[in-house]
Structure 1
């Protein structure tokens, strides 16, 4: 399959590395316009801490023209600009797959001819240095349609290609619920670890129980208006299990703040706040976290 991956961050390099392993795939990477230097090789440290340096194929105009699949692995606030830039480069038949945190970045797809999917992953990965990624934790991926129609054959082909590259992966017809589950997890773990400057596992401390409880209650209330229903105890258990499983991890939002990068708060807790305002629902704890993250992050 001809595949172009957009974004040289941790997840972009993770997918590039695993998809490029197969001789059945022609994979190229398109880097941010802000990138001043693109090396001929990239570094990758696998889950067993084995490091390697491999050749990097950079996407050119021909790669976009021939692409059957475009995997967009950028920050949520960069999605809109990427979509606009793509429109003049790609065919109407290419499948676009979005892989980013948060929700709300892909709500304006109505004028896109291309069919679009979203890819959610719990695999852990981090950037050790520019163009060197490290796979830090095994996880699962969920794939689902969010715009347009995709033939059963193409759906099966894409699902098989991605699953063979980075197991495990499932295509689901209920991707919205999966998106909301990941959003809920991110709404608790990301801002609290960023504001407190702590690893994920430290959220298991009882002093965080009241704020976590209130955040979950607000999220559940807003989710109902989007026809998504959660059980409080089950959702709380899921969130705390993720915090436990990733105890030593630095959340993406905390990492962004420590490195003085723009955060995705507007597409995580900010998305909850936006929906709540439309429905007249008070969500003071989510609002407070949005304000705190923006106050602590000079680039937001």
Structure 2
């Protein structure tokens, strides 16, 4: 199986290295020619979770610009860029990459990206994915695995509502699960990805902005009483909105949030890193996504609205 990964940030490098180490043919498509050249020459270096031991994985790499002209098969395309980078031009490039029948696996935080991609990509080729791995990109070719997690994926759109089992899916999906297992990646399939995305959004809407505001790691966030009280309030407000929109669960949403904090304790959220670097954050697609859903149901989100303002102010400084 040939997997192309669009985006060589922390998650792209993490999955690219782990897949390549298990003998999957991986091609990374980067935003710059310099990063592509560095990856093609020396591969990806990954600092393994728990031990810090460094391993190197050989990959192919090329700039995204013009990548649709690269010869060779591609079975899956993994989209790992952040929401602000999902432009109309990128959507058009992805459509060209998928023109040979490859499936597109989308690992973005927040909401709105799947609806945008659905306008450009045939529904039968479009998959949503949820990752709870922790990763930190140290430089253009080096990534640190900072927290164990899992990868859940499934069809997006009307096809996802079909009541089917894994054995009833096409062979490439079952093969992808086998490849994830061989690479030591905890993987699963779901035909309820909209619900899964809401649950991931609930986690992100609390951890990402609050770690960015307080400047702490995921594990440090609940270790202070005042921070934890704000976590609880923001979680309750966001959960009420997403439940009104149809999110279902077993009542353990708060414990799942705390589990993520524990399992990715040393990880700095992507929003914290963006604020530190003065980059545009994903706040409009995470807490802004919660607020937009609330408006659809006649609800208000004063905490989310305040959080959005604070994070945007921090990112400008």
1:182-197 to structure 2, matched below 5 A, reads 182-197=200-215
Q: Which runs of 5+ in 1 are unaligned?
A: none
Corresponding residue for residue 43 of structure 1: 45
Corresponding residue for residue 131 of structure 2: 121
Kindly tell me: are residues 143 and 36 of structure 1, through their superposed partners in 2, closer, same or farther at Cα, counting changes over 3 Å? closer
Kindly tell me: are residues 80 and 158 of structure 1, through their superposed partners in 2, closer, same or farther at Cα, counting changes over 3 Å? farther
Corresponding residue for residue 221 of structure 1: 240
1:206-285 to structure 2, matched below 5 A, reads 206-230=225-249, 234-285=252-303
Cα distance in 1, alignment partners of residues 232 and 52 from structure 2? 37
How many residues matched?
A: 297
**CA shift for structure 1 position 132:** 0.7
Alignment partner of 1:90 out of 72, 86, 98: 98
| TM-score, scaled to structure 2 | 0.85
Deviation by residue 1:225-278 (Cα, 9 ceiling, x = unmatched): 32113566x222222232233333222111111122211111111100111122
Deviation by residue 1:124-175 (Cα, 9 ceiling, x = unmatched): 1111122211112222221111147594322212222233224211111222
**CA shift for structure 1 position 111:** 4.2
Alignment partner of 1:172 out of 178, 190, 194: 190
Cα distance in 2, alignment partners of residues 206 and 21 from structure 1? 42
Q: Are the equivalent residues in 2 in contact too, given 1:115–1:147 (CA < 8 A)? A: no
**CA shift for structure 1 position 282:** 0.7
Q: Are the equivalent residues in 1 in contact too, given 2:130–2:152 (CA < 8 A)? A: yes
Corresponding residue for residue 83 of structure 2: 76
**Which 10-residue stretch deviates more, 53-62 or 132-141?**
53-62
Corresponding residue for residue 112 of structure 1: 121
Corresponding residue for residue 166 of structure 2: none
Q: Are the equivalent residues in 2 in contact too, given 1:70–1:97 (CA < 8 A)? A: yes
Cα distance in 2, alignment partners of residues 185 and 202 from structure 1? 15
More helix by share: 2
Deviation by residue 1:164-194 (Cα, 9 ceiling, x = unmatched): 2242111112222221111111111111111
| TM-score, scaled to structure 1 | 0.89
Alignment partner of 2:61 out of 58, 62, 65: 58
**CA shift for structure 1 position 279:** 2.0
SS of residue in 1 equivalent to 2:115:
coil
